[in-house]
Each structure stands twice: as structure tokens, then as C-alpha cells.
Amino acid sequence: MTLISVGVDHEHASLEFLERTTVLEEEWSKVLRSLVIHRNIHEAVFLSTCLRTEVVAVVDRFHGAIEEITATLAEATGLAASEFADRLTVHFDRGVATHLFSVAAGLKSVVPGEFEILGQLRRSLELAHEEQTAGAELTELFRRAITTGRRVRNETAIARGTTSFAQAAVSMAVQELGEQIDGAHVVVVGAGQLATGVVKSLLVARPQLATLTLSNRTIARAEALRESAGDARVVVAPLEELTENLASARLVIVAVEVASPIISLSHLESCSQPIFIVDLGLPRAVESEVGQLPNVRKVDISDLRTQVELALDGRHEAADEASQIVLEDVEKFMDDQRERGAAAIVSELREYFDEVVASEMKRREAELADMSDEQRDVVRSLLRSVVAKIAHRPTIALKDAAGMDQGIRLTEATRNLFDL
């Protein structure tokens, strides 16, 4: 069996394609169940965020597994499998660890060092455990990746300054509006993790806003966010009142996961004042036509890249340090994997030889009847010694080749030869 990751991400696919391949979290369980019914997929973890949709799996046949994963992604997104052909990013064995550790470290994010990805990785593993699609190998891989992500943020300056989409979005809005934020009414749509970061960043922004209306489909979640913010400027309103609230808003930040746009032209028909809208949704949560209105300026995730480059300042050196930590931790992970892989087959081989010795001693029991217990012990010890010497060289070869293609071939040959 081998380890692979297959998916699409912002480094190799357009924002438009990523938008079409995003799978809402409520559908992740279904995707996981679909993955593991395939003959080549033994374990699977699924992750779909605004900038990556990815499967990490333990598989039998490499090419067969890629076809099965592609078919599952096509089914989950409603796209043809052929549309993924030139857009998939594929890693296997060591490359999977390097990729996932880098993702956890924030090195693969639009905002380097952003911390949301750690929570997303944890959630994807937890859900795989709930659906019983993640075994020991993927669990160890994800836990080690998350540990590396924490280490990078503790030991380097990559997390200094703007470290999340939320902070980057607010920073971009403040730069765009400047003094117009002072005393303004701001609307935030959403009440999840991303919206929480947006609200917290807005409340400490300078100049200060006057009021912040939190609009969400589930009022209870919005109320919980308002309570945690602990700021009298925050009020909660249902989505049904969105049109009314937009009419007086200077800034709107949409941080919600929806299958179709939640703000349309009809919501803004009565708006006469200039309004700046930041759409952090993917799929997009604001209709593209909204940006054509004369009093509306609309930006989305793709526009964050410029803001991020401005926020990086001295973090290029920190990114190099983070990359070095990733390499070190991947090397340690692979060494541990090799040891575990070799230990398993070597243990099975030794158990087999011990069973052969015990079986032969029992089969020849009548012939050894005239011997004393001490003499039988000598015979048993002699047999074990001979078997150990015979097994020594195969054992060393299995340990030395563990974790490599040769090790996989030797392991398969050993299992076939000794029927393990």
C-alpha cells in the first residue's frame, strides 16, 4: 500500500475552477463514504476549503486509485472527470508528507502562516474518524503535520502581522476606505470561524467603526459571536433584514459558506451611498453583477493577493526557516515510518519462524521422548539459533529497504514466500 494526495489548489488552478470544485462541509461525510467503497482506497481524509479541495489516502494501485478519487470528486462537484485532467495536483509517498506538512505550516496559503488551516486539517481528520475512514497511517500523518504547523508558528516569524484571511480582508478594507471607516456602519454576513476573525479584526481597527451588524441564517450562532466579542457596537440581525442593513452600510464583508450567492442586485437597489463589499466566499457569496453598480466597489479572494504581498515585509526569511523545519520534520516522519514498516514485517517473519520451530518440536515429540528436559531445551535452542541465522540477512535487507520502492517489493515477496 502507498500514500497519495490528489486535489486542486490555488497554486495550480484558477479561482473560477476552485469555485466549481468547492464542496460544502455538510457533504464531506458523503464524499468520505464514497471514497472508501472503491477497491484501491483503504483510508481517506477529505478537505475542501475556499482555496483547495483535496483527498489524502492510503491506496493499493496508484493509477487505479487516482481514477477512483477523480471519479469521486467529479460526482461530488457535478463536474465531468475530464475537467480535472490537467488541473489535479498529485503527490505520493514522501511527497505527500512534504506537501501536507507545508500546508499545515501555512506555506501553501495565500496568506503565509495563516492559522485557519490548522483548524481545517483538524476538522477533516476528526470527520474521517467519525466516518471510520482514517486508520493509523493517516492519523499519524495528519497529527504530525499539525504538530509541524504549530512548531513553525512558534519558532519562526511567519505568523507575524497579517496571518489570516480575516485580517487580510479587514486590512484591505481599512486601506481602501481610510478615514471613511470612522463612525461608519459595517455589516458582516456569517458567524463561523472566518466571520469571527473578521469581527474581531474590525473591532480593533483604526479608525473606529460606529456599529457592526452581524447577519446570519442561524441567529443563535450570531448571538454567540456577539457575546464572545463583548462589544456594545455589535448587533445581530436576521438575513431577512439584509436589504435594510445594506442601505446604511459603508462596508460589507461576506464570510459565509453557501452554495449560491447570498447578496444579489435586488439587495442593493435602494442603496444610494458608496459601499465597499469584500466577498470571502468560495463559491462566491455575492453576485458578480453587483460590482457593476456605480456606487459599489466589490473585491474577492483573488484581490487579497496584492494585500498579502504588502503585508509580507520581512517574512520571506521566515518562510525559508519554516521550509527548513518542514524538511526536518518530514525526514523524521519518514524515518519513523520506515522503522514502523520494517518492524511489522520483521515481527511477522520472526513469529513465523518461531511457529515452525515449535511445530517441528511438537511433531518430533515421540522421537525426543528419551531425552531429558535439559536435552530437549538444547535441541530447541539449536533450532532457534539456526533459524535466527537464516533469517538474519533477510531481516537486515527488509530494514534497510523499508520506506523505498525496493522495500515494498521485498515486503511483498516475503509475504508471498512465507504466506504471511
Instruction: Determine the Cα–Cα distance for residues 166 and 179; give it in Å rounded to an integer.
Output: 20
Amino acid at 356: V
Instruction: Determine the Cα–Cα distance for residues 145 and 142; give it in Å rounded to an integer.
Output: 5
In the numeric block, which cell numbers belong to residue 371? 531425552
| CB distance 277 to 290 below 8 Å | yes
Q: Is the pLDDT of residue 214 over 80?
A: yes
Q: Is the pLDDT of residue 251 over 60?
A: yes
Q: What is the mean pLDDT of residues 311-327?
A: 81
Phi, psi of 157, deg, nearest 5: -95, 20
pLDDT at res. 399: 73
Dihedral angle, C-alpha 105, 109, 111, 112, nearest 10 °: 30
Instruction: Determine the Cα–Cα distance for residues 296 and 271; give it in Å rounded to an integer.
Output: 9
pLDDT at res. 312: 57
Q: What is the mean pLDDT of residues 203-229?
A: 95
Q: Is the pLDDT of residue 344 over 80?
A: no
**Whose grid coordinates read 484501491?**
40
Q: Which of these is catalytic: 4, 8, 50, 170? A: 50
- CATH for 165-306, options being 3.40.50.300, 3.30.70.3000, 3.40.50.720, 3.90.1150.10: 3.40.50.720
Q: Measure CA 239 to chain center.
A: 30
> What's the mean pLDDT when you consider all of the chain?
89
The larger pLDDT score, comparing residue 116 to residue 203, is at 203
pLDDT at res. 154: 92
Q: Which pLDDT band, with edges at 50, 70 and 90, does 405 fall under?
A: low
Whole-model pTM: value is: 0.72
Measured between alpha carbons, how far is residue 329 from residues 61, 98, 134, 309, 336 in Å?
27, 9, 21, 27, 10
Instruction: Determine the Cα–Cα distance for residues 175 and 223; give it in Å rounded to an integer.
Output: 29
pLDDT tens readout for residues 88-141? 999 998 999 999 999 999 999 877 888 889 999 999 999 999 999 999 999 999
pLDDT at res. 311: 57
Q: What is the mean pLDDT of residues 170-196?
A: 92
pLDDT at res. 306: 64
Query: In this structure, is the dihedral angle defined by the CA atoms of residues 105, 326, 127 and 227, taken in order, positive or negative?
Result: negative
pLDDT at res. 89: 95
pLDDT > 70: what percent of the chain?
A: 94
- CATH for 2-161, options being 3.30.460.30, 3.40.50.620, 3.40.309.10, 3.40.50.720: 3.30.460.30
Domain ranges of the chain: 2-161, 165-306, 336-418
* SS3 letters across the chain: CEEEEEEEECCCCCHHHHHHHCCCHHHHHHHHHHHHCCCCEEEEEEEEECCEEEEEEEECCHHHHHHHHHHHHHHHHCCCHHHHCCCCEEEECHHHHHHHHHHHCCCCCCCCCCCHHHHHHHHHHHHHHHCCCCCHHHHHHHHHHHHHHHHHHHHCCCCCCCCCHHHHHHHHHHHHHHHHHCCCEEEEECCCHHHHHHHHHHHCCCCCCCEEEEEECCHHHHHHHHHHHCCCCEEEEEHHHHHHHHCCCCEEEECCCCCCCCECHHHHCCCCCCEEEEECCCCCCECHHHHHCCCEEEEEHHHHHHHHHHHHCCHHHHHHHHHHHHHHHHHHHHHHHHHHHHHHHHHHHHHHHHHHHHHHHHHCCCCCCCCCHHHHHHHHHHHHHHHHHHHHHHHHHHHHHCCCHHHHHHHHHHHHHHCC
Instruction: Determine the Cα–Cα distance for residues 125 and 139; give it in Å rounded to an integer.
Output: 7
- Lowest-confidence region among 152-156, 229-233, 269-273, 342-346: 342-346
Q: Which pLDDT band, with edges at 50, 70 and 90, does 310 fall under?
A: low
- 84-88 contacts at long range (C-beta below 8 A, 24 or more positions apart): 84/8, 87/8, 87/12, 87/13, 87/17, 88/6, 88/7, 88/8
- Lowest-confidence region among 6-15, 29-38, 187-196, 382-391: 382-391
Residues 6+ apart with CB under 8 A from 188: 195, 198, 199, 202, 212, 213, 214, 215, 252, 253, 254, 255
Q: What is the mean pLDDT of residues 170-191?
A: 93
Q: What is the mean pLDDT of residues 283-310?
A: 84
pLDDT tens readout for residues 152-169? 999 998 877 656 778 888
Q: Which pLDDT band, with edges at 50, 70 and 90, does 328 fall under?
A: very high
Q: Which pLDDT band, with edges at 50, 70 and 90, does 341 fall under?
A: low
pLDDT at res. 167: 84
Q: Is the pLDDT of residue 48 over 70?
A: yes
Q: Which pLDDT band, with edges at 50, 70 and 90, does 323 fall under?
A: very high
Q: Is the pLDDT of residue 314 over 60?
A: no
Active site residue 271: no
Measured between alpha carbons, how far is residue 406 from residues 61, 223, 339, 349, 411 in Å?
16, 58, 15, 18, 9
Q: Is the pLDDT of residue 173 over 70?
A: yes
pLDDT tens readout for residues 5-27? 999 998 888 888 988 999 989 99
Q: Is the pLDDT of residue 222 over 70?
A: yes
pLDDT > 90: what percent of the chain?
A: 57
